Amino acid sequence: MRLQQYYTPYEVASHNTPTDCWLSFNGGVYDVTQLLQEHPGSLAEPILAAAGTDISHWFDPTTGDVRTCCDPDTQLPLPYCPQGLFLHVAPVEPTSSYDCSVQVPWWKDITLRVGLLSSKTRLVRVKNVLTEQEDTLEVPSEETVGQVRQRYLTLNAHAESYTWKALGRTAGGAGSQFEFRELDLNKTLQENGVVDESGAFESLDMPSDYHVPVLHVYWNDDLTVA
């Protein structure tokens, strides 16, 4: 899979097997596949069971470490692991099986991070004016139009040979004067004036996908073929 800057929860959820295990937490997306393969056993089971999900609730948002609770008997802080003790969490009782040589626990290992989790996704329709084909994409709201175009490459290998436009109010115009304006690939959809109105529809008890903005792509020249 091509690595990207942002991922949707759906994309993370698709990596949910022992040979392809991703997790998201604290805004990041992590590939822990190799970690699990190098450390099989009971301590890996809680991680594998959570494959493809967001586990931010496992960690303290301030410190980034595993949450703690108070032992009712000793009144000492203990790692809070209701899903079971997992890899790199120090056991409560002394044991020779714990690897004390670990300097950086896996949840703080930046080398495992493959990208960021989108804080909010949105739907957008892409209509090929030449072929009349139309596709609906779920994209991170943080992505630029250029990054959305990269996603569209999986549906149209020549997406970079198109000009991307969206309907907007005519510059200096008033009333109902609109035109299709070319989008700035370095700006987000919102910055290009393609407003996400899904929240407004939800507040009216209407489906969030009641209205999905459409982007028109116009054929230029096929510069993607040598």
Domain-wise residue ranges, the chain: 6-117, 121-219
Q: Please state the pTM of the whole predicted model.
A: 0.85
SS (H, E, C) 34-49: HHHHHCCCHHHHHHHH
CATH 3.40.50.300 assigned to domain 6-117? The reply is: no
Whether the Cβ atoms of residue 145 and residue 57 lie closer than 8 Å to each other? no
CATH: 3.40.50.880, 1.25.40.80, 1.10.150.20, 3.10.20.90. Which one for 121-219?
3.10.20.90
pLDDT tens, 174-201? 556 778 899 999 999 999 999 887 766 5
Mean pLDDT, the chain, whole residue set: 87
- pLDDT of 226 reads 43
In this prediction, what percent of the chain has a pLDDT beyond 70?
84
Token pair of 207 as six digits: 């489906």
pLDDT tens, 132-191? 999 999 999 999 999 999 999 999 998 899 999 998 766 665 556 778 899 999 999 999
Query: Where are the extended beta strands (E) located within the chain?
Result: 6-7, 16-17, 20-25, 28-31, 68-70, 77-79, 113-117, 121-128, 134-140, 162-169, 178-182, 214-219
Whether the Cβ atoms of residue 35 and residue 112 lie closer than 8 Å to each other? yes
pLDDT, greater one: 62 or 211: 62
pLDDT tens, 87-127? 998 777 666 666 667 789 999 999 999 999 999 999 999 99
What pLDDT band is residue 52 in, cutting at 50, 70 and 90? very high
